[in-house]
């Protein structure tokens, strides 16, 4: 399956599907609408049924059962958009047939180098075929690799009728990267007992817990006075914003945390003397932890207002998604199925927390338990993104094994 999944992936990444949080539409970009049409045609061509692109650009399709016994319906989900953090236009991937180790020069003109000194994980793939960028764009493995793997696995099952299985559903969603991937997902129409997202992560990663996530925005109201006569009169919103940011714990930021550690992350700061705005994301694996982070922001806003006057700083908080673990644990057997499928495919499961979120997190709270399985990529959302092609082939194999296991009735939570 390796050559086929690579062929698909290289075709998919050439369509710019970068999402746009400011568009106000679903999908948020024309490229996603175009890509949905391409995928629906391909799904029909490989023999899937009930292929549909709905009014919101979601792609749904069915692999019919080839056995008479009624079994649980399993689903596989990936997202069509790529991150707006870095350009996805004019992606020009390059294949390294057998990575020899050492630096990979992505762009000689701009001296952009993918180095194991910065990204030591690449040493795990010496001798393997890699797909890398040209240093000018992201690659798009997040999550076009997942789409290519699902489609290739479905095609394999269509062409290998000796593998007995029940009904399988697949879905490709828009706008996951801007937090809107599950907004219009029709769980009832999808009609599965459980599903898996194939979305990110190195070979073997299997995830059923993720951050609790909240967003925050603090608006600072300053007061502009001629700087020559400003003593005791000016309130510089920019300086106040900087003071507030400096009150954050310096070791609780993304660049200082990993594993189960949460963080505060300043994502945007704009301002003038009169007016400044700070946008944050807050992340923690426990409800207690995320609530403490929200309380901490409330506390420092109160301190700012005490020092500079009531109404100087205004805080708005919004919950974004929650840790799927509490929804997955009652049906933990679905994680066991995936782990067994990996082992039978020669892949050792790495059960790790997602330091982020997936469509599966929100879908789990919409009544569709949905752990995440690796797609094999690394360094998403930027020019250093790469993916080893043997990992893509293994993802395809794991999907096939899951379908086969569910078809055999492996459903007990042992």
Active-site amino acid positions: 81, 176
Cis peptide upstream of residue 27 (ω within 30 degrees of 0): yes
Separation of alpha carbons 96 and 131, rounded Å: 6
Give the residue among 284, 64, 260, 78 at the shortest CA–CA distance from 164. Answer: 64
CA dihedral 335, 340, 342, 345 (to 10 degrees): -160
Cis peptide upstream of residue 143 (ω within 30 degrees of 0): yes
- Torsional sign, CA 64, 67, 70, 74: negative
Separation of alpha carbons 35 and 333, rounded Å: 34
Q: What is the largest CA-CA distance in the chain?
A: 86
Those residues with Cβ within 8 angstroms of residue 108's Cβ, 6 or more apart along the chain or in another chain: none
First to last CA, the chain: 32
Separation of alpha carbons 21 and 44, rounded Å: 31
């Amino acid at each position: 399956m390796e050559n086929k999944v690579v062929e698909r992936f290289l075709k998919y990444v050439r369509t710019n599907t970068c999402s746009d949080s400011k568009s106000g539409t679903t999908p948020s970009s024309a490229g996603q609408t175009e890509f949905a049409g391409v995928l629906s045609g391909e799904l029909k061509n490989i023999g899937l049924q009930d292929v549909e692109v709905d009014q919101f650009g979601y792609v749904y399709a069915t692999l019919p059962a080839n056995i008479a016994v009624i079994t649980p319906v399993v689903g596989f989900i990936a997202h069509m958009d790529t991150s707006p953090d870095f350009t996805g236009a004019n992606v020009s991937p390059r294949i390294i047939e057998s990575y020899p180790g050492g630096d990979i020069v992505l762009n000689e003109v701009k001296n952009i180098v993918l180095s194991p000194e910065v990204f030591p994980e690449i040493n795990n793939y010496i001798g393997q075929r890699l797909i890398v960028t040209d240093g000018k764009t992201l690659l798009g493995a997040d999550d076009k690799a997942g789409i290519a793997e699902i489609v290739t696995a479905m095609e394999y099952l269509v062409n290998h009728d000796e593998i007995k299985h029940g009904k399988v559903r697949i879905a490709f969603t828009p706008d996951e990267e801007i937090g809107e991937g599950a907004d219009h997902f029709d769980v009832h129409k999808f009609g599965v007992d459980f599903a898996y997202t194939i979305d990110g992560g190195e070979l073997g990663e299997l995830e059923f817990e993720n951050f609790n996530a909240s967003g925050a925005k603090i608006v600072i109201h300053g007061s502009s006075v001629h700087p020559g006569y400003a003593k005791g009169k000016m309130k510089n919103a920019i300086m106040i914003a900087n003071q507030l940011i400096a009150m954050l714990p310096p070791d609780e930021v993304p660049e200082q945390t990993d594993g189960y550690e949460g963080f505060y992350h300043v994502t945007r700061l704009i301002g003038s003397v009169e007016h400044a705005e700070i946008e944050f994301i807050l992340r923690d694996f426990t409800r207690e932890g995320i609530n403490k982070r929200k309380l901490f922001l409330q506390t420092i806003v109160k301190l700012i207002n005490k020092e500079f006057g009531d109404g100087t700083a205004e805080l708005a908080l919004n919950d974004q998604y929650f840790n799927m673990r509490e929804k997955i644990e009652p049906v933990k057997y679905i994680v066991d199925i995936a782990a067994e499928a990996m082992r039978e495919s020669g892949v050792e499961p790495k059960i790790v927390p997602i330091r982020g979120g997936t469509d599966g997190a929100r879908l789990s709270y919409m009544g569709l338990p949905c752990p995440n399985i690796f797609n094999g990529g690394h360094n998403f959302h930027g020019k250093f993104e790469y993916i080893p092609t043997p990992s893509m082939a293994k993802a395809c194999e794991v999907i096939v094994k899951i379908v086969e296991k569910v078809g055999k009735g492996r459903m007990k939570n042992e």
